[in-house]
């Protein structure tokens, strides 16, 4: 056996170890560190490039149709430069999205065949979610640190509150999968599941709730389908539909009372005596204090006069100053978020400061842009400019700082590339789901459900964390997992 062959074998083995280490860095980085994501990607890319088996890796790339589709998706961004006027923005966008391809290429180059290593990757993700969620909760409840949080978004210290909570939803399903299959460390996974579920429902993130419920439905539906329990499958989906209708019914019901019975002179005098926020000014959410005050008093069934204000605690005054219009909103959790959403929907005059109403405005403006650019879109460089112009043309009520992009990946694709680009994007998602069903990869199917749900409410592929999360698991599940997970 030649020395050259032995050296190549040693380099290849070392490259394999470095590659695995890079994946561990990336998976932890997705949870808590953008720097770790970048370092892991650089190390993983280096491990692939220096491997003597590089040509074999390249063959792996082009033999994987899901990877080829991803290449075409990035190529579409490059082609759109032809009709983009702001090329510097377009290049910046492409630079951000290149991770969408690089991470799957790294993963596919050296498939992890050992079941133990595969499980450890997912265990790292779960552990990172559990540890960071515990730190978040400890800080938020002042068990450690001395920072005062006036908003539930302060609960997430490691990145965007929305994206972090979506990761929590995915980690919940992973824990549940291990619990229901009675895998090793059963009790540890069970306690982790309860902790993550508490965090998820306390966090008040609509996108995460939707993602979790859809993923939960897909998880059980597929298991029942494989076992041919069709009657249970129908019952499960019927119950989910009933739950959905109940939520819609709750949001549709308005408990607004007649505000004309308010004694404004008494309210103004009594309020100004108790708060530094003037009765004629606005609260922290930029809503008129007097309307927030009236709604808050009504939610507690208190009279709309000085007697009602006298019965308010100091915490109630603080809540009203923050823009909380219903005392039940301050309790945190799923039902608190429902009350908040109901208030938004039935008090929709000013969308500023209301996440759902702002999204409705984003979608309205986005659809208007799409209608003007149906076939080719505006190109990847001009999306923000197109939104800025349309906000001005439509005299949007949104303040300048709230005039953001679509917060919907399907609409973003339609605006950027036109209808053909949107069709290709949908095809990419459908084909990925199809491969998960063919390969009987339940967790891959759950991952699909979560990302598609977030695509409806967020621009997931416009941020580094969102891109890395999608790219990592897309690459992992682009291959058939031969061994039982």
Among 55-64, 84-93, 287-296, 375-384, the minimum mean pLDDT is found in 287-296
How far is the CA of 95 from the CAs of 83, 166, 365, in angstroms? 18, 24, 26
Give 288's DSSP letter.
B
Spatial distance between the Cα atoms of 138 and 140, rounded to a whole number of angstroms: 6
Taking residues 398-412, report their average pLDDT: 90
Q: How far apart are CA 348 and CA 358, in angstroms?
A: 10
Amino acid 485: pLDDT: 46
pLDDT at 483 over 80: no
Lowest mean pLDDT among 33-37, 290-294, 447-451: 290-294
Instruction: Give the whole-angstrom CA distance, residue 196 versus residue 417.
Output: 38
Say whether pLDDT at 399 is over 80. Answer: yes
Average pLDDT estimate for 357-379:
92
User: Is residue 282 helix, strand or coil?
Assistant: strand
Residue 160 has pLDDT above 80, yes or no: yes
pLDDT given at position 333: 76
Q: Looking at residue 311, what is its pLDDT?
A: 86
- Distance CA(62)–CA(351), nearest Å, equals 47
- pLDDT value, residue 229: 92
Q: How far is CA 298 from CA 32, 258, 273, 309, 337, in A?
A: 41, 10, 20, 11, 18
Q: Residue 4: is its pLDDT beyond 70?
A: no
**Spatial CB neighbours of 296, under 8 Å, sequence gap ≥ 6:** 312, 316, 319, 320, 324, 325, 326, 327
Six token digits for residue 244: 């959905």
Q: Which residues pair with 282 in a beta bridge?
A: 288
Mean pLDDT of 187-208: 92
Closest CA to 330 of 160, 208, 152: 152
| Whether the Cβ atoms of residue 69 and residue 428 lie closer than 8 Å to each other | yes
Answer whether 182's CB lies under 8 Å from 433's CB. Answer: no
Q: What residue ranges do the domains of the chain occupy? A: 259-331
Residue 105 CA neighbour count, 13 Å, CB half = 24
Which residues, in sequence order, are CB contacts of 36 under 8 Å at separation 6+?
A: 25, 26, 28, 29
Mean pLDDT for 326-355 is: 76
Task: List the alpha helices (DSSP H) in 98-160.
Answer: 99-109, 115-140
Q: How far is residue 479's CA from residue 466's CA, in Å, rounded to a whole number? A: 21
The size of the chain, in residues, is 485
d(CA 59, CA 62): 5
Cα 465 to Cα 39: distance, rounded to the nearest angstrom: 14
What is the C-alpha separation between 152 and 205, in angstroms, rounded?
9
Residue by residue, DSSP assigns 59-91 as: HHHHH-HHHHHHHHHHHHHHHGGGG-S-HHHHH
| Backbone angles phi and psi of 288, in degrees to 5 | -65, 125
**pTM, full prediction:** 0.89
Residue 149 confidence (pLDDT): 66
Residue 356 has pLDDT above 80, yes or no: yes
pLDDT tens for residues 261-274?
777 787 888 888 88
Q: Break the chain down into helix, strand, coil percent, rounded to 5.
A: 75, 0, 25
For 195, residues 6+ apart whose C-beta sits below 8 A from its C-beta are 130, 133, 134
**Residue 1: what pLDDT?**
47
140-149, 176-185, 303-312, 435-444, range with the lowest pLDDT: 140-149
pLDDT for the residue numbered 319:
81
- List the one residue out of 21, 110, 134 whose CA is nearest residue 61: 110
Residue by residue, DSSP assigns 357-383 as HHHHHHHHHHHHHHHHSTTT-S-TTSH
On the question of pLDDT at 10 being above 70, the answer is: yes
Point out which residues pair with 288 in neighbouring strands.
Answer: 282
Distance of CA 400 to the CA centre of its chain: 24
Do 262 and 304 contact (CB within 8 A), yes or no?
Answer: yes
Q: Could you give the C-alpha distances from 226 to 204, 222, 338, 449, in angstroms and in order? A: 34, 6, 34, 18
Question: Could you tell me if residue 332 is left (phi over 0), alpha (psi between -120 and 50 degrees) or otherwise beta?
Answer: left
The pLDDT, as a whole number, for residue 153 is: 75
Contacts of 120 (CB under 8 A, 6+ apart): 24
d(CA 421, CA 349): 35
On the question of pLDDT at 313 being above 90, the answer is no
**What's 279's DSSP letter?**
T
Question: What mean pLDDT is reported for the chain?
Answer: 87
């Amino acid at each position: 056996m030649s020395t050259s062959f032995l050296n190549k074998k040693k380099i290849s083995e070392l490259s394999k170890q470095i590659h695995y280490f890079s994946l561990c860095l990336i998976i932890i980085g997705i949870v808590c560190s953008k720097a770790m994501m970048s370092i892991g990607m650089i190390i993983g890319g280096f491990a692939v490039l220096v491997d003597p088996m590089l040509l074999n890796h390249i063959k792996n790339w082009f033999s994987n149709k899901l990877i080829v589709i991803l290449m075409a998706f990035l190529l579409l961004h490059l082609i759109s430069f032809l009709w983009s006027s702001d090329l510097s923005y377009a290049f910046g966008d492409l630079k951000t999205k290149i991770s969408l391809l690089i991470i799957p290429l790294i993963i596919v180059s050296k498939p992890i065949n050992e079941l133990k290593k595969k499980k450890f990757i997912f265990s790292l993700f779960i552990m990172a979610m559990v540890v960071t969620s515990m730190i978040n909760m400890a800080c938020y409840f002042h068990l450690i640190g001395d920072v005062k949080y006036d908003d539930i978004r302060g609960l997430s210290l490691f990145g965007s509150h929305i994206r972090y909570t979506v990761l929590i939803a995915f980690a919940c399903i992973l824990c549940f999968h291990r619990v229901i299959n009675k895998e090793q460390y059963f009790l540890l996974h069970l306690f982790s599941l309860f902790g993550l579920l508490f965090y998820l429902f306390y966090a008040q993130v609509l996108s995460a709730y939707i993602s979790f419920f859809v993923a939960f439905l897909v998880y059980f539906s597929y298991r029942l389908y494989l076992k041919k329990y069709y009657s249970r499958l129908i019952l499960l989906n019927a119950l989910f539909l009933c739950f959905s209708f109940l939520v819609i019914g709750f949001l549709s019901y308005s408990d607004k009372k007649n505000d004309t019975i308010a004694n404004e002179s008494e309210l103004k005098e009594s309020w100004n005596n108790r708060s530094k926020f003037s009765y004629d000014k606005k609260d922290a959410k930029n809503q008129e204090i007097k309307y927030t005050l009236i709604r808050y008093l009504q939610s507690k069934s208190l009279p709309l006069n000085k007697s009602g204000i006298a019965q308010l605690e100091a915490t109630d005054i603080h809540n009203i100053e923050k823009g909380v219009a219903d005392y039940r909103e301050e309790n945190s959790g799923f039902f608190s978020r429902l009350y908040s959403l109901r208030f938004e929907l039935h008090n929709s005059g000013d969308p500023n400061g209301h996440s759902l109403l702002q999204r409705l405005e984003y979608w309205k403006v986005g659809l208007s842009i799409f209608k003007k650019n149906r076939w080719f879109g505006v190109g990847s460089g001009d999306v923000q400019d197109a939104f800025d112009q349309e906000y001005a043309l439509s005299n949007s009520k949104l303040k300048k700082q709230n005039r953001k992009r679509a917060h919907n990946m399907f609409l973003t694709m339609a605006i950027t590339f036109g209808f053909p680009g949107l069709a290709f994007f949908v095809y990419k998602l459908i084909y990925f789901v199809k491969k998960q069903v063919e390969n009987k990869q339940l967790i891959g199917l759950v991952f699909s459900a979560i990302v598609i749900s977030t695509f409806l409410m967020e621009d997931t592929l416009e941020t580094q964390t969102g891109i890395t999360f999608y790219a990592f698991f897309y690459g992992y599940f682009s291959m058939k997992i031969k061994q039982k997970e």
